[in-house]
A and B are shown apart, each in its own frame.
Chain A
């Protein structure tokens, strides 16, 4: 059987005269995580709701593993784990009961419930709360249970709308760990997010939409090079402050380096073009200069810069 897939074809949603999503076409396939980005009101949740048959397209359709969501929601969603809009769970249920309900309705055989539920509750670090009523849980705790509910049947396709909503920093890190685990197990994750660090961290590809239209869909690496005209920003961390201005010029002179500026006494920002080999040569060059280079990497804000630039072009 083929690998997990999501296919979105000419998906359009109008609310009255307002077009929230305008002819989105997107094909995702394979074991990977695709980040779904866009400013508030771009149409991300609208897209994911149509992908899970919570709302209906004005035009177009979506497929999960080849099954039309609109034609057969039951079959399509049977292969997906879904978290949309941070739902509420019936307040009188405990996490274990809520997950049992999900497992039961999804047809997970009863003997497997206990192990599966223990496992997913462990993954979202809620094992200690398994038998307390959800009603009094905090927002972040509920969100953790929602994530667990999306995973309890071990779905092939995982659709998450801002999973980090309400989570503390450790919770966000745990979500990333979960997503990495899913990828290792050949799952396809389609995840909307506003946390670009998270996207950079775990996503292999990104789709950016704005005002209901797709701006681009590409691998994270391609995105970074493409939107910088082949030039990427690289940061060099130094063990000691750089005193000699001449050394900055020397760094600028290394192959592939277009410019070099000292952001801080111990951090240089390079504009660099060149592939993997180019980067290897750059690394060696930096070491050769003996300026105390201890790190070389993309600045954390690389995706953010591209994001902001792309969104700004629409204004």
Chain B
């Protein structure tokens, strides 16, 4: 224990290291400040504002069918856009969260402190999560602005709340994977690229391969689960823990050409949470063994 040594001067600091959970939140606070003041955050805000602006312009221009049904409006624009915003945020804030500590040599500053490695990992994760949620909320506000304008306050569907929660669960999973990739490599660029490639189209391709070639429900691919963010707005959305199979036929009563799998909402949640847990555990284990050589 840190007993004051005899002869120590009065200016001696009295440090008692906080518990790890406190450290996680303190770390994330500093990291979050780092994010919020970074150019990166501004760029992402600009990108999201642009996406929102384009959507606003398209809706404003075409109106008609686009604003005939509030559920369809929120389902297609929030459901379609949140996915991309989440992946972008994860890439921006998580892509180099761990690798950057190696590449920029800031890790030597952090790792000389009495913090568990898991606390460093978790603190950075929390910061990236909060920063991503901030960006996601910005996107939500833009859409909500449009929705209120066309449908009024009475027409905000309760599904939007559920969808927001689903989006947050998806964010947990995507960030989990991003952090895992980021601790796999000591070069930041690999983490960025791998996350972007996998979540923007890699998993979708994998999902198609499993569904069409193996002909089974691609429940093990996260891109299968994430559309529940938009699906929840469908009037006949299935909340089940299992998916539904729809036969695609050449015509009514014709031969089955292929089958389309749709995840139940709860099934989607379970898949996304499983991705989060598995990637978080794998990433933590990896980081525990990672050397600042």
Chain A residues within 8 Å of B, Cβ to Cβ: 1, 3-4, 15, 31, 49, 52-56, 73-79, 82-90, 92-93, 98, 101-109, 112, 115-116, 119, 146, 149-150, 152-154, 156, 184-187
| Assembled-state Cα–Cα distance A53/B117 (Å) | 10
CB distance from B158 to the nearest CB of A (A): 41
Contact A153 B13 (CB under 8 A): yes
Alpha-carbon distance A163/B18, docked complex (angstroms): 28
Tell whether A186 pairs with B7 under 8 Å between CB atoms, given A55-B293, A74-B114: yes
| Smallest CB separation, A136 vs chain B (Å) | 15
| A54–B108 CB distance below 8 A | yes
Please determine whether B109 and A55 come into contact, CB atoms closer than 8 angstroms.
Answer: no
Are A87 and B20 closer than 8 Å at their CB atoms? Answer: no
Whether the Cβ atoms of B111 and A105 lie closer than 8 Å is no
Is the beta-carbon distance between A116 and B11 smaller than 8 angstroms?
Answer: yes
Contact for B105 among A87, A149, A150, A187, CB less than 8 A? A87
Cα distance A192–B289 when bound, in Å?
Answer: 26
Contacts of A87 in B (CB 8 A): 105-109, 112
* Minimum C-beta distance from B109 to chain A (A): 4
B187 contacts chain A at the CB level, 8 A cutoff = no
Q: Do residues B106 and A186 form an inter-chain contact, with CB atoms below 8 A?
A: no
Mark each residue of chain B from 31 to 57: 1 if its CB lies under 8 Å from any CB of chain A, else 0.
000100110000000000000000000
Whose C-beta in chain B lies nearest to the C-beta of A67?
Answer: B1
Q: Which 5 A-B pairs give the minimum distances between C-beta atoms?
A: A82-B112, A87-B108, A186-B5, A78-B114, A87-B109
A74 in contact with B109 (CB, 8 Å)? no
Bound together, the chains give a CA A119 to CA B12 distance in angstroms of 10
Known A-B contacts A3-B5, A186-B5; A154 and B12 likewise in contact (beta carbons under 8 Å): yes
Q: List 19 A-B contacts (CB under 8 A).
A: A49-B292, A53-B111, A54-B293, A55-B291, A73-B117, A74-B115, A78-B2, A84-B112, A87-B112, A88-B104, A92-B34, A102-B113, A103-B15, A105-B17, A107-B16, A119-B11, A150-B112, A154-B11, A156-B5
Query: What A residues does B222 contact at CB under 8 A?
Result: none
Instruction: Across the interface, name the chain B residue whose C-beta is closest to A117.
Output: B13
Closest Cβ–Cβ distance, residue A273 to chain B (whole Å): 37
Tell me which of A74, A105, A149 contacts B26 (CB under 8 A). Answer: A105
Interface pair A186/B8, CB less than 8 Å apart: yes
Is B30's CB within 8 Å of the partner chain A?
yes
- A115 surroundings in chain B (CB, below 8 A): 11
Chain A contacts of B114 at CB under 8 A?
A: 73-78, 105-106
CB-based contact A77/B293 at 8 Å: no
> Which residues does chain A contribute within 8 Å of B61, judged by CB atoms?
none
Q: Is B3 an interface residue (CB 8 A)?
A: yes
Cβ-based interface call for B70 (8 A): no
Cβ of B135 within 8 Å of any chain A Cβ, yes or no, is: no
- Cα distance, A15 to B293, chains bound together (Å): 10
The complex places the Cα of A266 from the Cα of B2 at a distance, in Å, of 53
Find chain A residues with CB under 8 A from B109 CB: 87-90, 98, 146, 149
Collect the chain B residues with CB atoms within 8 Å of residue A92's CB.
34, 37-38
Of all chain B residues, which has the CB nearest A187? B5
Q: Is B27 interfacial (CB-CB < 8 Å)?
A: yes
**Closest beta carbon of chain B to A150's beta carbon, Å:** 7
Contact B18 A1 (CB under 8 A): no
**CB within 8 A of A74: which of B11, B17, B112?**
B17
Contact between chains at A85 and B16 (CB < 8 Å): no
B7–A77 touching, CB < 8 Å: no
Given A102-B113, A105-B26, A149-B109, does the pair A78, B292 have CB atoms closer than 8 Å? no
- Residues in B neighbouring A4, C-beta threshold 8 A: 5
Q: How far, in whole Å, are A94 and B114 apart by their CA atoms in the complex?
A: 22
Chain A residues with Cβ below 8 Å from B116 are 73-74
Told that A88-B109, A146-B109 touch, could you supply 4 new A-B pairs with CB distance under 8 A?
A87-B107, A112-B14, A119-B11, A186-B8
Q: Taking A92-B34, A112-B13, A112-B14 as contacts, is the C-beta distance between A156 and B2 under 8 angstroms?
A: yes
A108 lies within 8 A of B14 (CB): yes
Q: Please tell me if B9 contacts chain A, counting CB pairs below 8 Å.
A: yes
Contact B115 A105 (CB under 8 A): yes
Q: Given A74-B17, A105-B26, A88 and B106 touching (CB < 8 A)?
A: yes
The one of A85, A107, A108, A154 in contact with B108, judged by C-beta atoms closer than 8 angstroms, is A85
Contact A107 B112 (CB under 8 A): no
A77 near B112 with CB under 8 A, answer yes
A3–B27 Cα distance when bound, in Å, is 31
Expressed in whole angstroms, the Cα–Cα distance for A185 and B5 within the complex equals 8
Choice from A73, A98, A107, A186 contacting B6 with Cβ under 8 Å: A186
Closest to A79 in B: B2
Q: Which residues from chain A contact B107 at a C-beta distance below 8 Å? A: 87
Report the nearest B residue to A85, measured CB to CB. B108
Chain A nearest CB from B217 CB (Å) reads: 43
Complex: how many Å from CA A92 to CA B38? Answer: 8
Which residues does chain A contribute within 8 Å of B18, judged by CB atoms? 105, 107
Among A76, A88, A109, max chain B CB count under 10 A is at A88
Closest to B11 in A: A119
Interface centre among B14, B106, B112 (most CB of A within 10 A): B112
CB distance from A106 to the nearest CB of B (A): 5
B76 contacts A by Cβ under 8 Å: no
Q: Residues of B contacting A186 with CB < 8 Å?
A: 5-8
Shortest distance between the CB of B29 and any CB in chain A (Å):
9
Q: Once the chains are docked, how many angstroms separate the CA of A31 from the CA of B5?
A: 10
In the assembled complex, B23 has its CB within 8 A of some CB on chain A:
yes
A102 to B117, CA, bound (A): 16
Interface contact A49-B13, CB-CB below 8 Å: no
Of chain B, the residue at the smallest CB distance from A77 is B114
